[in-house]
Amino acid sequence: MFEICSVCFWEDDGQDDHDADLVRGGPNKRLSLTDARRNFAAFGACDQRCRKFVRDPLPSERPA
């Protein structure tokens, strides 16, 4: 927990699919996991401001 993903810059705060739509605050501030996933699909990071911190995913890190 609390690791930061080098691909999307989301900080693992324990949020998962069952509560993905909740905005918890904490390390990810105003983002829900659903919003972060949508942002990643649109521009490659959980938030626009985090784009400078991310790298491209490795083949093994891409969804099937």
pLDDT of residue 62: 80
pLDDT in tens, 10-22: 999 989 999 999 9
| Spans in the chain with pLDDT lower than 50 | none
pLDDT of residue 2: 78
Q: How far apart are the first and last CA of the chain?
A: 24
Look up the pTM and report it.
0.86
Q: What are phi and psi of 31, to 5 degrees?
A: -100, 135
> Is-contact 53 9, C-beta < 8 A?
yes
Decide: residue 31, CB within 10 A, 0-12 exposed, 13-18 middle, 19+ buried: buried
What's the CA gap between 47 and 28, in Å, rounded?
Answer: 9
Listed by start position, the domains of the chain span 3-50
pLDDT of residue 1: 65
